[in-house]
Structure 1
Amino acid sequence: MYTREQASFIKQKFWTTLGQFLALQPSAEGLKVNWLNYKTGLKHVYFRMDADKNSAYIGIEMHHPDLGIQELFYEQFLEFKPLLNSLMEEEWEWELHGLDERSGKTISRIYHTQQGFNVFNENHWADIIRFLSPRMITLDSFWADAKYSFDALKG
């Protein structure tokens, strides 16, 4: 078992490694992008990646405090479900108004999780990176096409 400081150091080292790997990849629009802190341009809509001692996670999260508006974002994403599935070449989980365990708040999300990874085991890092990086790059490609349909929900 690791101390909180050791666990934080290992995770920071992993995210730095992933960030350096992804930094070589331009966005779908040919721009330099901070992949670990991806900017969707929509307040309360985030692309998230995470890894822990059991799994790796990537997703689109909607954190709007007004649950009605959060549902509008979710419904707009539903319109793009066939495109997202086609680009990802896999089905993702869709959750309207679930609980974010970190914040305790209600969020909606579209996500994919892979079990069997342990971010605290450096031997797993290459596999975690192979799981996260192509999906994040594909999310960016998806967003390059879909983001304009969300302009009416900006605000």
Structure 2
Amino acid sequence: MYSKEEASKLRQQFWITFGKYMKPIPSAEGLQINWVNYKTGVKNVFFRMNAEQKKATISIDITHSDEETRLLFFEQFKAFKLLFTDAVHEEWEWEQQAFNEYGVALSQISIAVTGLSIFNQQNWADLISFLKPRIIALDQFWTDVKPIFEALG
């Protein structure tokens, strides 16, 4: 078991490693991008990657505090579900009503892998192999649909 400080250091090392690995890869528009802290450019829409002790997830989090607006954005994502699935090449979980770790309501589109731990450096290659193609696919998808979401915002 790791102390809080050791766990924090390992998490930080993983994300630095992931960032260095992804740095040479341009965005879908050919630009340099911070993959670890991906900016969608649309308020309250986030692409989040998370790695924990027993699983890793990648998600689109829609966090508008106004439920009606959040659901409008979620419905718009659903309208692009076929395009989304074509981009990511797999089925993700679509949750219209979810809650984050602080109990705040959000809508979320996500996929997870279990059995991998950020605290086991031998799992890092598998974690990177899980996250890398999915964040790249999200970027490609977002390039195509972002203008519609900007208009909604």
TM over 0.5: yes
Q: Could you tell me which residue of structure 2 aligns to residue 5 of structure 1? A: 5
- Give 3-state SS (helix, strand or coil) of 1:47's partner: strand
Q: Could you tell me which residue of structure 2 aligns to residue 106 of structure 1? A: 105
* Offset from partner CA, 1:37-62 (integer Å, 9 cap, x none): 11111111000000001111001000
Q: Could you tell me which residue of structure 2 aligns to residue 97 of structure 1? A: 97
1:143 and 2:135 are equivalent in the alignment? no
How far did 1:148 drift?
1.1
What residue ranges of structure 1 are gaps of 5+ in the alignment?
Answer: none
Letter in 1 for 2:92: W
CA distance in 2, matches of 1:16, 1:122: 13
CA distance in 1, matches of 2:9, 2:152: 38
How far did 1:153 drift?
1.6
Which stretch shifts more, 142-151 or 8-17? 142-151
How far did 1:76 drift?
0.5
How far did 1:152 drift?
2.2
Q: Could you tell me which residue of structure 2 aligns to residue 134 of structure 1? A: 133
How far did 1:83 drift?
0.8
What is the TM-score of this pair, normalised by structure 1? Answer: 0.97
What residue ranges of structure 2 are gaps of 5+ in the alignment?
Answer: none
* Offset from partner CA, 1:115-141 (integer Å, 9 cap, x none): 111110000000000000110001000
How far did 1:151 drift?
2.4
- Give 3-state SS (helix, strand or coil) of 2:36's partner: helix
* Offset from partner CA, 1:78-114 (integer Å, 9 cap, x none): 011001111111000000121112x220010100001
What is the TM-score of this pair, normalised by structure 2? Answer: 0.98
CA-based RMSD: 0.7
Q: Could you tell me which residue of structure 1 aligns to residue 76 of structure 2? A: 76
* Offset from partner CA, 1:8-53 (integer Å, 9 cap, x none): 0000000000011111100000001111111111111000000001
Alignment length (residue pairs):
153
Letter in 1 for 2:83: L
- Give 3-state SS (helix, strand or coil) of 1:28's partner: coil
